Amino acid sequence: MTHYKTISELLKANGFPPPENPLLGILTFEEDEKCTFLEKEFTTDFYTIAFTKLKSGSFQYGKTKYDHDNGSMAFLKPHQKITLNGIENSEKGFLLYLHEDFLVSHNLYKEIKKYGFFDYEVNEALHLSPKEETILWELFNKIKGEYYNNQDEFSRDIMLTHIDSILKYSQRFYKRQFLNRAVLSGSITSKFTEILNLYFEEGQLQIKGLPTVKYMATQLALSASYLSDLLKQETGKTTLEHIHIALVLEAKNILMSTDKTVAETAYQLGFENPPYFSRLFKKEVGITPTEYREQFLN
């Protein structure tokens, strides 16, 4: 598989014009323009922000294939495998390539790592409304205008400001998508709880140990980052916090209904380290497992 260390390498290898700036690449394409990559599988050393509307073909990021039949945004981080198959654009789109070195000494160097959607799978792409498309195109065109306008000492900061705005708007639009998803497919929290309860009922805690965030995400056919952000939007709590709450609730039942010691309770719940279980219990409940049991005995 080909790995592109620089944006220049990627563009040159695929027959595109060289970038105006070696650390920032821009491609725009329409139905009657070629935007065909010679390499069908590759990885890069830079971020990619893509807006696409496909007439045919598919785009794969990581292990998930997705057919963008609607206008959508995808956010790809460095070193992730990208697979392209027979792509044909139905309308105009764009690609922004952003090398991490371009961000050095700018606030976005740290901020970009906080945007969870760079860890989403492509089937969790951001689907835009016409109004949202217009906003993002306006920002992209401002970047493009600055990019091709004899860059000077102000250009980098201006372009990064607009890129930061694209990311902030995308964060806002994802929250709208989370709300719509909940309405269309039912509360993800309810499905999450069902899967977790089944895990407990089937004795998986003793067999497999504590359920992980990755396990829960896989059961819901979501990436771990997307699930946590979705739950955070619905409930204000992350996936891990929901797992901890369920475990503490189960622990309360055991402490109330059996004579098991705290250590035995911890092992039954899949904890290999009883002191860790006690710390988690106190964090969630405010008192230790022993103190919790004693308050019902007095």
3-state SS assignment for residue 36: coil
Residue type, 282: K
Domain ranges of the chain: 2-185, 188-297
Highest CATH level, class, for 188-297? mainly alpha
User: Can you give the pLDDT at residue 145?
Assistant: 94
User: Can you give the pLDDT at residue 187?
Assistant: 63
User: Can you give the pLDDT at residue 63?
Assistant: 43
CA distances from 91 to 34, 58, 70 (A): 12, 15, 10
The DSSP result for 50-93, as a single string, is: EEE-EEEEEEEETTEEE---S-EEEEE-TT--EEEEEEEESS-E
User: Can you give the pLDDT at residue 185?
Assistant: 44
Asked if pLDDT for residue 184 goes beyond 60, the answer is no
Asked if pLDDT for residue 169 goes beyond 90, the answer is yes
Asked if pLDDT for residue 298 goes beyond 60, the answer is no
User: Can you give the pLDDT at residue 67?
Assistant: 42
Instruction: Say how far apart CA 39 and CA 277 lie, in whole Å.
Output: 50
The DSSP result for 121-146, as a single string, is: -GGG-EEPPHHHHHHHHHHHHHHHHH
Mean pLDDT of 189-206: 84
User: Can you give the pLDDT at residue 138?
Assistant: 95
Structure-block tokens of residue 68: 């963008």
User: Can you give the pLDDT at residue 120?
Assistant: 77
The residue ranking higher by pLDDT, 56 or 14, is: 14
User: Can you give the pLDDT at residue 65?
Assistant: 47
Which pLDDT tens digit goes with each residue over 36-72? 666 667 888 899 998 887 554 554 444 444 444 556 8
Fold of 2-185: Jelly Rolls (2.60.120)
| Torsional class of 86: left (φ above 0), alpha (ψ -120 to 50), beta (otherwise) | left
Instruction: Say how far apart CA 66 and CA 137 lie, in whole Å.
Output: 22
Mean pLDDT of 147-172: 93
Asked if pLDDT for residue 180 goes beyond 70, the answer is no
User: Which residues, at least 6 apart from 215, have a Cβ–Cβ distance to it below 8 Å?
Assistant: none
